[in-house]
Structure 1
Amino acid sequence: MSAANAPTQSQLEKDIELIKLIRSRGLVPLITAEERPDVPRLSDVQGDVIYGFPKASLNHALNIEWFFFFRIADSGSFKAGLSNPDFKPTSSEDVKNNLLKIGKARQEAKLSGEEVKRVKLQQYQIAFSKTGLLVLGIQDGIADARFDQRCMRDDRVFLGDQGKWDDLFDKPGYNEKDGSAHDVNNPRALHGVFVIAGDDDKECADITEKLKGIFKSSIEIPENGIVQGHVRPERHLEHFGFRDGISQPAIRNLEYPLPGQNQVDPGVIVTGYKGDPVGSKRPDWAKNGAMLVFRKLEQSVVAWDNYMLDHGQDYKDVPGGKAGVNPELSQEDGAKLLAARLVGRWPSGAPIALKETSLKDDPKMGEDPKRNNNFDYSVYDVPGVSAQTPSDYYCPFTAHVRKTAPRNLDPYVARQYLESGSIIRAGITYGPEVTQKERDDKKDSEEEKFKRGLLFVCYASHLDSGFVRQTTGYGNNDFFPITGLVPNNHGQDPIIGGPPAKGSSGEERDANLDAKPAKPFANGDQLDIKLKVPGDTLNRYQVTGHVEIQPLTQAVIDFPFFVTSRGGEYFFVPSIPTLKTWGTAN
Structure 2
Amino acid sequence: MSAASDPAQKKLEEDIKLLKNIRSRGLVPLITAEESPDLPHLSDVQGDVIYGFPKSFERFLFFRIADPKGFKAGLSNPRFNPTSSEDVKKNLLKIAKARADANLAGEDVKRVPLLQYQIAFSKTGLLVLGLQDDTGDERFDKYCMRDNRVFLGDQQNWDRLFDKPDYNETDGSAHDIKNPRALHGAFVIAGDTDKDCDEVTDLLKAIFGSSMEIPEQGAVDGHVRPDKHRHDEHFGYRDGISQPAIRGLDHPLPGQIQVDPGVIIMGYKGDPVLSKRPEWTKGGAIMVFRKLQQYVVAWDSYMVTNGQNYQNVPGGKAGVNPDLPPGEAAELLGARLVGRWKSGAPIALKETSLKDDLVLGGDPKRNNNFDYSVRDVPGVSAQAPSDYYCPFTAHSRKTAPRNLDPYVARQFLESGSIIRAGIAYGPEARAERDKGEDSEIEKWRRGLLFNCYASHLNSGFIRQTTGYGNNDFFPITALTPNNHGQDPIIGGPPPKGSSAEERGASLDQPTSSFIDGRQVDLNLRVPGETLRTYRVTGHVEVRPVTQAKVDFPFFVTSRGGEYFFVPSIPTLKSWGGPQ
TM over 0.5: same fold?
yes
The alpha-carbon distance between structure 1 residues 288 and 323, as it changes in their structure 2 partners (threshold 3 A), is closer
CA contact (8 A) 1:315 1:322 kept: no
CA contact (8 A) 1:42 1:91 kept: yes
**Is contact 2:290–2:449 with CA below 8 Å preserved after alignment?**
yes
1:453 Cα shift?
0.3
Match of 1:530 in 2: none
Q: Which residue of 2 aligns with 1:22?
A: 22
Which one of 341, 344, 347 corresponds to residue 346 of structure 1?
341
| 3-state SS of paired residue (1:8) | helix
Shift of 1:570: 0.2
Moved more, 306-315 or 488-497: 306-315
**CA shift at 1:559, angstroms?**
2.1
| Deviations, residues 106-160 of structure 1 (Å, cap 9, x unaligned) | 1111221111111111100000000000000111001100000000000000000
Shift of 1:584: 4.3
Q: Secondary structure at the match of 2:188?
A: strand
Which residue in the other structure is 1:412 paired with? Answer: 407
Match of 1:456 among 426, 450, 454: 450
Query: Quick check: 1:466 aligned with 2:460?
Result: yes
Matches of 1:385 and 1:510, distance apart in 2: 33
- Could you list the runs of 5+ residues in structure 2 that have no partner in the other structure? 1-5, 506-535, 544-548
User: How has the CA–CA distance of structure 1 residues 322 and 83 changed in structure 2, closer, same or farther, with 3 Å as cutoff?
Assistant: same
Matched, 1:262 2:270: no
2:476 to 468, 476, 482: 482
Could you say which residue in structure 2 is the equivalent of 1:116? 109
Q: CA deviation at 1:201?
A: 1.6
Distance in structure 2 (CA, Å) of the matches to 1:419 and 1:499: 27
Counterpart CA distance in 2 for 1:499 and 1:136 is 38
Measured against aligned partners, the alpha-carbon deviations of 1:511-548 in whole angstroms (never above 9, x if no partner) come to: 99xxxxxxxxxxxxxxxxxxxxxxxxxxxxxxxxxxx9
* Superposition deviation, residue 19 in structure 1: 1.1
Corresponding letter in the other structure for 1:487: P
Question: Normalising by structure 1, what TM-score?
Answer: 0.88
Contact 2:255 2:369 in 1 (8 A): yes
Aligned equivalent of 1:425: 420
Give me the whole-angstrom Cα distance separating, in 1, the residues matched to 2:9 and 2:401: 39
Tell me if the contact between 2:46 and 2:567 (Cα under 8 Å) persists in the aligned partners. yes
Pair 1:554–1:501, CA change in 2 (3 A): farther
* C-alpha deviation, 1:324, in angstroms: 5.1
Determine whether 1:274 maps to 2:261.
no
Q: CA deviation at 1:446?
A: 2.1
Letter in 1 for 2:557: T
1:186 correspondence with 2:179: yes
Correspondence 1:229 to 2:227: no
Cα deviation, residue 209, structure 1: 1.0
CA deviation string 1:426-484 (max 9, x = no partner): 0000000114346644x862211110000000000000000000000000000000000
Tell me the residue number matched to 1:34. Answer: 34
Shift of the 381–43 alpha-carbon distance from structure 1 to 2, 3 Å rule, reads same
Change (3 A) 1:181 1:324: closer
Q: CA RMSD in A?
A: 2.2
C-alpha spacing 1:565/1:550, structure 2 compared with 1 (3 Å)? farther
Name the amino acid aligned to 1:49.
V
Change (3 A) 1:422 1:394: same
Q: Does the C-alpha gap of structure 1 residues 82 and 118 become closer, same or farther in structure 2, counting only changes over 3 Å?
A: same
Please state how far the C-alpha of 1:509 moved relative to its aligned partner: 10
Letter in 2 for 1:338: L
Distance change in 2, residues 1:411/1:185 (3 Å): same
Which residue is 1:296 aligned to?
291
AA partner of residue 32 (structure 1): T
Match of 1:377 among 372, 381, 394: 372
Letter in 2 for 1:248: Q
Aligned-partner Cα distance in 1 for 2:27–2:286: 18
Structure 1 residue identity aligned to 2:299: W
* Residues 438 and 552 (structure 1), Cα distance of their counterparts in 2 relative to 1, 3 Å cut: farther
Partner SS, residue 49 of structure 1: helix
Q: Verify: 1:436 aligned to 2:431, yes or no.
A: yes
Q: Which amino acid aligns with 1:426?
A: A
3-state DSSP of counterpart to 1:114: coil
Using the aligned pairs only, state the percent identity.
72
Structure 2 counterpart of 1:486, one-letter code: T
Number of residue pairs the alignment of both structures matches = 536
Q: 1:336 aligns with which of 310, 326, 331?
A: 331
Shift of 1:505: 9.2
Given that 1:63 and 1:231 are in contact with CA atoms closer than 8 Å, whether structure 2 keeps it comes out as: yes
- Structure 1: gaps of 5 or more residues: 1-5, 55-61, 513-547
SS state at 1:315 partner: helix
- For 1:462 and 1:559, locate their aligned partners in 2 and report how far apart those are by CA, in whole Å: 32
Contact 1:350 1:362 survives alignment (8 Å) = yes
Q: Contact 1:398–1:491 (CA<8 Å) still a contact in 2?
A: yes
SS in 1 for 2:449: strand
Aligned to 2:211: 218
Q: Structure 2 CA distance, aligned partners of 1:150 and 1:483?
A: 32
Q: Residue type of the partner of 1:489?
A: N
Deviation string for 1:474-520 (max 9, x for gaps)? 00000000000000000000000001469x896669899xxxxxxxx
Do 1:378 and 1:390's aligned partners in 2 also have CA atoms closer than 8 Å? yes
TM-score (normalizing by structure 2) = 0.89
Supply the distance in 1 between the matched residues of 2:335 and 2:303 (Cα, whole angstroms): 10
Q: In structure 2, what residue type is equivalent to 1:315?
A: Y
TM-superposed deviation, 1:333: 1.2
What is the SS of the residue equivalent to 1:215?
Answer: helix
The answer for the alignment partner of 1:356 in structure 2 is 351
> Alpha-carbon deviation of 1:310?
1.1
Counterpart-to-counterpart distance in 2, 1:81 and 1:66: 20
Q: Do the aligned residues in 2 keep the contact of 1:423 with 1:458 (CA within 8 Å)?
A: yes
